[in-house]
Amino acid sequence: MTFVGNYLQGEYQLSNGHGRKNATKEHRRNYITREDFRFLSQQHGINTVRIPVGWWIAKDPNPPAPYVGGSLATLDNAFKWAQWVSLS
């Protein structure tokens, strides 16, 4: 995120400032998928991924501004997908 004058520009604007919460949700839904986990594990033998999360994940789904919620759900999906790949 960056400041342009007195205005914060970045994910916060896209998610909250411009009323486009669905745009961020759609991005997260397509950024990494269950099939990505299968590809990494079964085709390349990679059994570890790094998922960066910030301290505001403790406040999900409504962290303080300018942070954007949704990290906890994304992290939950990653654990579910890793388990799914290990069972398939």
pLDDT at 31 over 70: yes
Is the entire prediction scored with pTM above 0.85? no
pLDDT at 10 over 60: yes
- Cis peptide preceding 64, ω within 30 of 0: no
Q: pLDDT tens digits for 39-79?
A: 888 888 887 777 777 788 889 888 887 777 888 888 888 88
pLDDT at 21 over 60: no
CA distances from 43 to 37, 38, 46, 49, 75 (A): 10, 8, 8, 15, 23
- What's the burial of 68, exposed, middle or buried (CB within 10 Å: 0-12/13-18/19+)? buried
Structural domain boundaries of the chain?
A: 2-87
